[in-house]
Amino acid sequence: MAGVFDIDIDNPDVNQDDSDDDAIDLEELANAPVVLSQTTEDGEIKVRISVGSEDCETVQLSEQNVNTGKEKTGPQDFELRKVLGKGGYGKVFQVRKVTGQDSGTIFAMKVLRKASIVRNQKDTAHTKAERNILEAVKHPFIVDLIYAFQTGGKLYLILEYLSGGELFMHLEREGIFLEDTACFYLSEIILALEHLHIQGIIYRAPEILMRSGHGKAVDWWSLGALMYDMLTGAPPFTAENRKKTIEKILKGKLNLPPYLTPDARDLIRKLLKRQVSQRLGSALGDGEAIKVHPFFKHISWADVVSRKLEPPFKPSLVSF
C-alpha cells in the first residue's frame, strides 16, 4: 500500500455559490493541495500531498476497523507518543505499534474527521476511491500507507514515519540550496510525480485558477515554483495579500536572480509557462522532456530511483 493524501475537510454548513464560473475562487487556492516533501533517516525525499483547511478536533480512540489484507488492526494496536502536527484535516500523531509482527515499529498516525468527509452516498464512494488510490500508489519517493481503518467518527491512516523532517526545514536553515542540492531533490520529486501521473493523479497550477481545464502539466508548473523557491529562498510570485498573489501568478513578471546558471534559468522559465501547451512536460512524454534538460545533465536517473546517490543532507537522529 502507498501514497499519502490529506482529505480536504470543508465546513458542511457553509453555502457554496457557484454562480460565477469564471471568477477566481480564493478559497480554492487556499485549500489547494500542496506538494510537501519529507526527508527519511537516510536523507532521501518522500513526497506527500496535503490539503489545507481550518477545521480540527480532539481525537477519541475506539474500536471497529475496516482494515483489509494482512492482520486486523485498530486504534488499540497503537501507543500514542506525541502530536506531530494538526490542521484542517485533523491531527497527526507519532505512535508505536504494540501488537503483531511489526510490534515496536514507530509510525505516523493521521486521524481525519469522517463527519465532514462522508456526508452522503456520493461522498462515501469518493472516500473509497481515495483509499483505493492510496493503496495503488507505491514508489520509493512517495510516503507509504501501511494501515487504514475507521471508527464511528474518524478515519485513520497509519503511515511510515519519516524522521528527517520537512524539506523546507532544511531550506529555511540553509537559506537557499546550491544547484547540485536542488538538482538531487528535484530529481526524486520528478520521479514521484511521474509515477502519480501513471496512476492518473495530478496536482494544480494557474489554469486551475482560471478553470480552463488541466492535465498532467499542472504538476510541472508546481515543480518550477518549488525549484525557484529552492534556489532563491522565496516563491516566484508573492504579494501582500491572497488576491494580489493570485494576480501575480496569473499575470505577473517572472524575475530570475542573475546568479542562477543559464541552465537553471532556462528550466525555471520553461516550467513556469502559463500557457500549458508551451510548458515543459506538457507533451505526451510527460516528465521525460524535463529529465533530459541540461540542468539534469549530471544526473543518472537509474541511480536516483535505486537510491545510489549520496543525499546532500543526512539528518542527525535520536533512537526511540
State the binding site for ATP.
110
Alpha-carbon torsion, ordered 23, 24, 30, 34, to 10 deg: 130
Show binding-site residues: 110
Beta-strand ranges (E) seen in the chain are 34-39, 45-50, 78-87, 90-97, 106-113, 145-150, 154-160
- Residue 291: DSSP 8-state: H
- Residue 233: DSSP 8-state: S
Which residue shows C-alpha cell 494482512?
Answer: 70
3-state secondary structure of 158: strand
For 78, the grid coordinates are: 497503537
Q: How far apart are CA 254 and CA 256, in angstroms?
A: 6
With a CB cutoff of 8 Å and minimum separation 6, the contacts of 216 are 197, 202, 281, 282, 286
For 278, the grid coordinates are: 508551451
Q: Classify burial at 224, counting beta carbons within 10 Å of its beta carbon; exposed 0-12, middle 13-18, buried 19 or more.
A: buried
Closest CA to 87 of 59, 48, 131, 57: 57
Half-sphere exposure of 227 (CA within 13 A, CB side): 31
Q: How far apart are CA 37 and CA 51, in angstroms?
A: 14
